[in-house]
Chain A
Amino acid sequence: MVSGIVSYGVYIPRFRIRLDEIARVWGDGEEITEGLQVFEKSVPDLDEDAVTIAVEAARNALQRAGVDPKRIGAIYVGSESHPYAVKPSATIVAQAICTSSSFTAADFEFACKAGTAAVQACLGLVGSNLIDLGLAIGADVSQGAPGDMLEYTAAAGGAAYLIGSRDLAAEIEGTYSFTTDTPDFWRREGMPYPEHGGRFTGEPAYFKHVAGAARGLMERMGTAPEDYDYAVFHQPNGKFPVRVAKMLGFSKKQIEPGLIVPMIGNTYSASCLIGLAATLDIARPGERIFVTSFGSGAGSDAFSIRVLDKIDDIRCGAQSVRDYIGGAEYLDYAMYAKHKGKLRI
């Protein structure tokens, strides 16, 4: 059975902080932003969390293709910032988008790749004919301790994908995952901020897993980088996706449309899915997109996607990634600290 993307939607909060402003507060030099290749990051409003972001992204996905929410048979929300430790985000999303009560739901967590794991779970249920439509969401309001390197990139955003087998805007031709036990980044129960292994997050974590999944999928499918028009890799900063693309043989031109981290930062579970949405916003029918996520801990999910004619019918049905990137309102560090709850009254 041919399965794939029926519709997609994104949401990026409108507030931004420039990395220069964070560097000013902590006495770091300009080399920080140059080194990360990230210049500003999104900041949630005072009343936004991973659930509100997931709902806005899901509503955009439904609106884009005019899909009846009662068709949805599964909702999986991937995030590392679920507002409840116990109580699913997925049920709140479902109620907010008016699904029926006849659906399965769960929250996923796998650092930055929980959203693509949700896509794979929906693909399985659709492919085995157990459900008509699945809703896979990656949404985060990620955390970085004040003054830590993570604070420069930890951003907020969400992306939702309706996965089905008819009226497809894009076919998912294949998927492949690469997973090992690698402690490069973690957050213990009850701790407000995650910890990370510094340079250890690079070669043995990001590069090994992204390259492992990407090469595994291309080998299985008998494809090569030149068979794809676009490529999207997980974007913890602006350097890693560019470097891994070069390592694998993809060009800068292929990754350019989906490289959104310099403008909005690392949106964690939504990062690679927003990059894919930005690419779908401009892709033409017949073009192919190669996508590989990365989640610390660690694992990568790779996807081969072929864009279909239907994309032209749904493209303008909801706000694009560029719509959300434009119209930003900038905060200074004091307002940013208030928005992120770093100030305890």
Chain B
Amino acid sequence: MLKVLAALLPGIAVYVWFFGAAILVQIALASVAALAGEAAMLKLRDQPVGLFLADGSALVTAWLIALTFPPIAPWWLTVSATLFAIVVAKHLYGGLGQNPFNPAMVAFAVAIVSFPALMSQWPAVGFTDFSAQMAVVFKSQSAQDAVTMATPLDALRTQLHVPEARATVAGVLGAHASFGNIGGKGWEWIALAYLAGGLWLLQQRVIAWQVPAAFLATLALIATGFSLGNPERYAGPLFHLVTGGAMLGAFFILTDPVSGATTPRGKLIFGAGAALLTWIIRSFGAYPDGMAFAVLLMNLCVPLIDMGTQPPVFGRKRKDGAP
């Protein structure tokens, strides 16, 4: 778990570079809330507190929540979502190893359904002043238009969905101030930093290659197919890969062993399914990014996937029983 945290550091560093230090405050808030919630639940459940706090799993959940929430989300939103993740999504299901859903994604889903406006309050490019950010986070100062901005995914969703606007992908993104080279301005670099961290995790054999490979390949494949067929309506593969939660999801969220598939073929199906759902929700859904819902829906399918993809055991590879 500590290696997972370490692998997130480059992404966090780039995040701070582009969007200021608010994210560090969010990470701290989520970490404290997660550790407190975990300790309280362990105590209630009569489990050894120190032993389980040391495993780092609550911290991973906390960091993922902070990194998927807007960095200028109000403090209480981050804290309550984190507590929901730890108390409900994790401990009420039986604690570490027993939760069928990824706790961080449960928190994200609950927050975006309950507070859609606050969850789409992303900082504008250049809004990096720390005290101004803190004012938004702690004083519930309603964020002004000057400091927030729709993400490219959000812009695409709102504008492409209005038929009379006759908007095109290139038109929307080209006109949008938050668009960088291939994805959101700044976000594309953060995504690349996550990719670097994820590759390091692969090299360290902390995560299996099947899930990120299947996810990224499927997402790229579907996006390529549709954007070639109708480039005005569908964004291209590079945009999809570096935008929203795709990279973070591929290497850090989908790879959660507890809520993911365990067989090699199952992992491929799990990753590919999540990519398909992400793309569908992004392209046709009501929410700008489909990562969280895609992960939760695939979590639901895990028992079925695992059951259906049991690899043959030693000596039983051929059905006729011959060696």
Q: Do A and B come from one complex?
A: no
